[in-house]
Amino acid sequence: MSTEQAIPAGQEPPPAVIAGGVTGSGGDASPGEIAGTVAASGVALDTVAANTGEQAHPPALRGSRGRHAGPPAGQAMSVPSSVLATWLRRCGSTARSFPLATAGLAIVVAMAIFCFIGPMLYHTDQVHVFLQIEDLSPRAGHPLGTDADGNDELGRLMVAGQASLLVGAAAGVLAAILGSLWGAVAGYAGGALDAVMMRIVDAGIAIPTIVAALVIVSIDRPTEPVLVLVIAATSWLSTARLVRGEALALRTREYVQAVRVMGGGGGRVVLRHILPNALGTIAVNVTFQIGGAILTLATLSYLGLGLQFPAVDWGNMIWQADQTISLGYWWQIVPPGLAIMLVVVAFTMLGDGLRDGLARAPRSAD
């Protein structure tokens, strides 16, 4: 049949014309014959469409769009609004179930935004001295007044908060890591090693934290990294005792015994089984460690062993305000004091809320 010959309306073209040259003939056709047959099939389909008045559609190529293909061109992917609504409902339900932790987290986030984003919107010079505007009370242009060097108190509160939050968070996390590793190894090992390690912890706890920190800081110039190491080195002891207690209970669990029977080493047991199962206790302790680290930093700065000029933290602001508090300049000491109290209380609330939530959560069977 010639490809130029029209096919009457209502009559289907012979199969050989459409697919015979491709799928038929047992696969003996040459590539040139296959190409000619496909071209002829296209002409035949166009002829059928012309006689029947229908639009010709080429056969769809199988596999042209996989199951993971995106939307067609020009069509935007949309996320169902029900997913967002479900997520918001879950967040609201969690917030109502744990109001203490939610309030603490909200205060911490608000203070972080105030300290780190605030200076981008409220520009002040905290490096130079402006004696012509020293010790101004709160007024327009200086909502919290100025200090003895003429620096804006509100801007200084933001900059000082950056150092306090960063040093406190870094020292608290580092102390939790050191204490967790020490306590987990001691609790899992047991015996003589446990006794020696815990006697070291007891000896460290017997030394007042602030005294040990003062001795260490007096050796070297206090910078942010040095203060982080000093505070962490004097704060990890309580975490070690808590995690050791968890390790003593966890090492008798069946899954830990199974790992030991199968030849698993002590490092694998500690890192893969004991520490992950004590993560709740560690997470709660981290929040308390951060609050304690912020207080320790403020104490060191108040004693003159904190960050040195031009760096500043909340404790340093209180130390400077103490020089003029007898003159009634309350705006220099109240804001940093309230900031320290608010952040420490917020971390304490967050830790208490996490502890209540973990105690309420069902525990898996041994």
Per residue of the chain (366 residues), what is the pLDDT tens digit?
444 455 455 555 554 444 444 444 444 555 455 445 544 455 444 454 445 444 445 554 444 455 555 555 555 555 566 777 777 777 777 777 778 888 889 999 999 999 999 999 988 888 888 888 888 888 888 889 888 888 889 999 999 999 999 999 999 999 999 999 998 888 888 888 888 988 998 888 888 878 888 888 778 778 888 889 889 988 898 889 888 888 888 877 777 777 777 776 767 778 777 888 888 888 888 999 999 999 999 988 888 888 887 888 899 899 888 888 888 888 889 999 999 999 999 998 888 888 877 666 555 444
Identify the DSSP state of 252.
T
Helix, strand, coil percentages, rounded to 5, for the chain: 70, 0, 30
Residue extent(s) of CATH 1.10.3720.10 domains in the chain? 100-360
Number of Cβ within a 10 Å radius of residue 273: 20
pLDDT confidence of residue 43: 46
Measuring CA to CA, which residue among 243, 316, 251, 311 is closest to residue 282? 243
Instruction: Select 100-360's CATH number: 1.10.238.10, 1.10.10.10, 1.10.3720.10, 3.40.50.2000.
Output: 1.10.3720.10
pLDDT confidence of residue 168: 92
CB 71 within 8 A of CB 329: no
pLDDT confidence of residue 3: 46
Identify the DSSP state of 307.
P
Q: How many CA atoms lie within 13 A of 284 on its CB side?
A: 15
Measuring CA to CA, which residue among 196, 201, 230, 197 is closest to residue 213? 230
- Mark 257-272 as b/e (b = at least 16 C-beta within 10 Å): eebeeeeeeeeebbee
pLDDT confidence of residue 145: 86
pLDDT confidence of residue 194: 85
Radius of gyration of the chain (CA): 36
